[in-house]
Amino acid sequence: MASTLHSQPLALEDKSLAHLLYGLMACFPLFLIPVALSLFINLYQPPNHSSRFIVQHLRWQRWSIIGFFLVLSAGYLVNIPWLSTTLYLAASLWFIGRIFKGWLSLIEGSNI
């Protein structure tokens, strides 16, 4: 019985956590709280995921959120309004791209 549990195909593994975290990340235009919650959940997940595929997506999400917050912080600290706005827009567009790329690859079952 134990050998059949480990031989499940990739398509049958539980991807619900990764979908939940991508959903929270996609709420960023409304509030940054869901993104911070997504990072918190991601960081405090036990590292016992059997699938390297899910671990790769969790890492992708973690670094996407950290990079987004770093660029937003830089935009906040810059005193020049046009540069600050440019950093905000660049961070938002980059983050949207990372969400789409990661979520689509999760749905397709391919690596990032």
What digits encode the pLDDT tens for the residues 47-61?
Answer: 666 688 888 898 999
Across the range 22-43, mean pLDDT stands at: 87
Q: Is the pLDDT of residue 13 over 70?
A: no
Per the domain annotation, does 49 fall within a domain? yes
> Total domain count for the chain?
1
Per the domain annotation, does 74 fall within a domain? yes
Contacts of residue 94, Cβ cutoff 8 Å, sequence gap at least 6: 67, 68, 71
Per the domain annotation, does 5 fall within a domain? no
The residue segments making up the domain with residue 70 are 13-108
Residue 11 confidence class, pLDDT cut points 50, 70, 90: very low
Per the domain annotation, does 78 fall within a domain? yes
pTM of whole model > 0.85? Answer: no
Distances (CA, A) of 39 to 33, 57, 79: 10, 13, 28
Per the domain annotation, does 57 fall within a domain? yes
Contacts of residue 40, Cβ cutoff 8 Å, sequence gap at least 6: none
Burial class, 32, CB count within 10 angstroms (exposed 0-12 / middle 13-18 / buried 19+): middle
Residue 46 confidence class, pLDDT cut points 50, 70, 90: confident
Per the domain annotation, does 2 fall within a domain? no
